[in-house]
Amino acid sequence: MTTTVYVPLDSSARAVGADEVAVALTAEAARRGDDIHIVRNGSRGMLWLEPFVEVDVDGTRIGYGPVQAEDIATLLDAGLLTGADHALKHGAVDALPWLERQDRLTYARMGVIDPLDLDDYQAHGGLAGLRNAIALAPQGVVDVVAASGLRGRGGAGFPAGRKWQTVLDAPGDTKFICCNADEGDSGTYADRMLMEGDPFTLLEGMTIAALAVGATQGFIYLRSEYPDARDILREAIEAARGYGWLGDDVLGSGRAFDISVRIGAGAYICGEETSMLDSLEGKRGMVRAKPPLPALEGLFGKPTVVNNVLTLGSVPFVLAEGADAYASRGLDRSLGTQVFQLAGNIKQGGVVELGFGVTLRELVEDFGGGTASGRPIRAIQVGGPLGSYLTADQLDLPLEYETFAAAGAMVGHGGIVVHDDTADMARLARFAMEFCSEESCGKCTPCRVGSTRGVEVIDKITAGDDRQGNLTLLLDLCDVMTDGSLCAMGGLTPMPVRSALTKFPEDFGLTAQEVSS
Amino acid sequence: MTERSLSEIPGGVPPDAADPVSARIGEIAEARAGEPGPLLEILHDVQHEFGWLPESTVPALAHVLNLSRAEVHGVISFYSDLRTSPAADVEVAICRGEACQAVGAEALVAHAADRLGVGIGEQTADRSVGLEQIFCFGNCALGPTASVAGRLHGRVTPERLDALIDDTQAGSSTP
């Protein structure tokens, strides 16, 4: 009898030895005459356990991890293929508290299925949303998405239904669906994991969007740092074409839609939607002024839906299970689930999908287990490099767009980066300015020049050179960048800088009184 | 000011037909010339084939795509992935994103720079190893992260990085 063994193909799992595990398993099983079939699945998101190997024992998947290639012989000796005990055994994967306590909607199939097997995809609910969308009129599809309360998961949180309505109502025969897969924020990796582990979900979301607004061509703008995602997406697109899903007649609907993947070239700013559109057009990724809205004049000047991977990846659930099912999760105006990512100095890093409203403490302490170093938490940055630094005193903040905004922070893309008490916050503030100077597109002077001046002024403060005078200068510079930049790059870089200053003034050689006066 | 002839208009000068590199770049461009906004895609193709963007890339692409040389140059200079000089035999790229910094990325960069005797964006004198900084590989739960010769590695300590670089050098003639 053939035993199915799952070894993740996720690039984080590969970065800690998953390929070597798969090779060792194949060789060792062959040597012993064990009949196994290895499936390279996506990651379950328990990244600290990667490479996480699962064995199908009479329909129950038993997990082991973190497994290294040199563990394979002892694992097989112990009885890996029958789910026997071993120091690395965690038990039935579906019953693991870390997973069981989550509410996986967008990530329902993550790590469960073979990412490129369309039969497996459909056996786990795939294409149900698209089939429902085909049965609806375009306005009907937009209405469902609007009623679900789904907001853009890329960071800005704009209501997806309203954006789609604008594109649907825009005149013109040529419209585009653009998926922003330029996930450049440090501490975020949920887009990557979905594209590698369940790419059909993204393609299904894009196809539903196309039917809703009347688009015939889609583009995925993928960052070059994700070569595995590129290869898997291209294979998935070919499979979808072969199945009659993408192409001239989407699942027999009489509607045409196809998707191309275009690769970025190492520019963080291209994650900003207008800059991404310029880059998709083959140009320098310069930020455009709005209006015109991309929904009306987007790619090549045509009406365009620009949504993040997880926004589009949430759409199949909404169409399959209904708007109410999605909106029953979450809090206030932040409805549905968010795929939170635990990163940085964290003991149990990985992906937690839960309704909005979960507190930072539940994520960082209960799921994350505190810092990897075992030292106290000093600062937490939520929402990427442009997000504020929070202190350990703010762990009870619920993750919800409006509450975070009121606290001077942002949920953003749901990335949570933990720093322990060895973190030098003046150095991190300086880095925020350095990063901005490195990655600014150069269009707005406060961002292009201000970021370089920001590095210099912070250096003067930390060197003790006229601290008070240079502090005044830095705060003034932050104001100018906030007010005088077209996009979030220049506009939000002051967030980490200001929050580091006000919450950790001692790292700059300043007192709380000096900073607040 | 003298009037300029057509051939002096940027992009209007045909690339050197006798130059095989230029001719090949022209072919690569022609293959995609019908696609909408193909310049960045073509630049990726050229770099994929040559490992960098040879000097004749600018005139060749300007000619095929009917763009000014300034436009082509502007796109090349905007993106950090696009190279106007050959890469080192082995590229070592270390993530300096905040998540990797939280677990020691800055020390890793300093170690690599010290060991290789080069700064970020530089190559060793024999061009065997180049050091680059990257802002995020999406491996933020298992940092520090480094890519060595195109392969991604997580939880990279200075010792591990040394071993990974040594592995790439083992096959070469110099010990």
B73 with B106, same domain: the answer is no
Determine the pLDDT at residue B5: 53
Determine the pLDDT at residue A182: 97
Which chain A residue has its CA at the smallest distance from B103's CA?
A: A345
Q: Which CATH class is domain A3-100?
A: alpha beta
Flag whether B138 is in a domain.
yes
B59 with B15, same domain: the answer is yes
Determine the pLDDT at residue B14: 67
* Alpha carbon distance, N-terminus to C-terminus of chain A: 74
Please, which residues have CB within 8 angstroms of residue A403's CB and are 6 or more apart in sequence? A397
Average pLDDT over residues B124-131: 96
- How many structural domains comprise chain B? 2
Q: Where along chain A do the CATH 3.10.20.600 domains lie?
A: 330-420
C-alpha to C-alpha distance for B82 and A41, rounded to whole angstroms: 33
B63 with B104, same domain: the answer is no
> The domain A330-420: what is its CATH number?
3.10.20.600
Q: Minimal CA–CA distance to A363: which of B97, B137, B141?
A: B141
Determine the pLDDT at residue B4: 54
Q: Which of residues 28-47 of A touch B (CB under 8 A)?
A: 47
Q: Which of the two residues, B14 and A435, has the higher pLDDT score? A: A435
Flag whether B1 is in a domain.
no
User: Under CATH, domain A118-327 is a member of which superfamily?
Assistant: NADH-ubiquinone oxidoreductase 51kDa subunit (3.40.50.11540)
**Boundary-marking domain end, from B78, B106, B128:** B78
What are the pLDDT digits (tens) for A399-410?
Answer: 999 999 999 999
Domain that includes residue B73, residue range: 6-78
- Shortest CB distance from B141 goes to which of A48, A183, A438? A48
C-alpha to C-alpha distance for A501 and A68, rounded to whole angstroms: 43
The confidence band for B18, taking pLDDT boundaries of 50, 70 and 90, is confident
Flag whether B126 is in a domain.
yes
Q: What average pLDDT does the structure give for chain B?
A: 91
**Boundary-marking domain end, from B78, B109, B131:** B78
**Boundary-marking domain end, from B28, B48, B78:** B78
Determine the pLDDT at residue B173: 44
Q: Is any Cβ of chain A less than 8 angstroms from the Cβ of B167?
A: no
Look at residue B10 and tell me whether its pLDDT is greater than 70: no
Which chain B residue has its CA at the smallest distance from A341's CA?
A: B141
Strand A350-355 versus strand A377-382 pairing type: unpaired
Decide if domain A425-516 falls under CATH 2.40.37.10: no
Shortest distance, CA A241 to any CA of chain B (angstroms): 19
C-alpha to C-alpha distance for A435 and A458, rounded to whole angstroms: 14
* Alpha carbon distance, N-terminus to C-terminus of chain B: 61
- Decide if A265 and B141 are in contact by the 8 Å CB cutoff: no
B39 with B109, same domain: the answer is no
Which segments in chain A show pLDDT lower than 70? none
Cβ-based contacts of B79 with chain A (< 8 Å): 264-267, 285
Shortest distance, CA B1 to any CA of chain A (angstroms): 32
DSSP-derived 3-state class of residue A59: coil
Q: How much of chain A exceeds pLDDT 70, in percent?
A: 100
CA B153-A268-A473 angle, to 5 degrees, is: 115
Helix axes A199-213, A138-148, angle to 10 degrees: 120
Q: Minimal CA–CA distance to A315: which of A124, A157, A133?
A: A133
- Decide if A265 and B79 are in contact by the 8 Å CB cutoff: yes
Q: Where along chain A do the CATH 3.40.30.10 domains lie?
A: 3-100
B99 with B143, same domain: the answer is yes
How many A×B Cβ pairs under 8 Å? 152
The DSSP secondary-structure symbol of A359 reads B
Determine the pLDDT at residue B1: 43
Flag whether B175 is in a domain.
no
The DSSP secondary-structure symbol of B16 reads -
Q: Is any Cβ of chain A less than 8 angstroms from the Cβ of B99?
A: yes
SS (H, E, C) A362-422: HHHHHHCCCCCCCCCEEEEEECCCCCCEEEHHHCCCECCHHHHHHCCCCCCCCEEEEEECC
Flag whether B95 is in a domain.
yes
Determine the pLDDT at residue B175: 38
* Residues pairing with B147 in the sheet: B93, B152
Which chain A residue has its CA at the smallest distance from B94's CA?
A: A225
C-alpha to C-alpha distance for A483 and A357, rounded to whole angstroms: 30
Instruction: Residue B112: give its domain's CATH number.
Output: 3.40.30.10
Which chain A residue has its CA at the smallest distance from B154's CA?
A: A15
**Prediction pTM value:** 0.96
Q: Where along chain A do the CATH 3.40.50.11540 domains lie?
A: 118-327
Flag whether B99 is in a domain.
yes
Determine the pLDDT at residue B169: 86
Flag whether B83 is in a domain.
no
Torsion of CA A110, A114, A116, A119, to 10 degrees: -110
Which chain A residue has its CA at the smallest distance from B39's CA?
A: A282
Q: Which of residues 103-142 of B touch A (CB under 8 A)?
A: 103, 134-142
DSSP-derived 3-state class of residue A61: strand
B14 with B71, same domain: the answer is yes
Longest CA span, chain A? 76
Q: Is any Cβ of chain B less than 8 angstroms from the Cβ of A231?
A: no
- Shortest CB distance from B142 goes to which of A12, A183, A268? A12
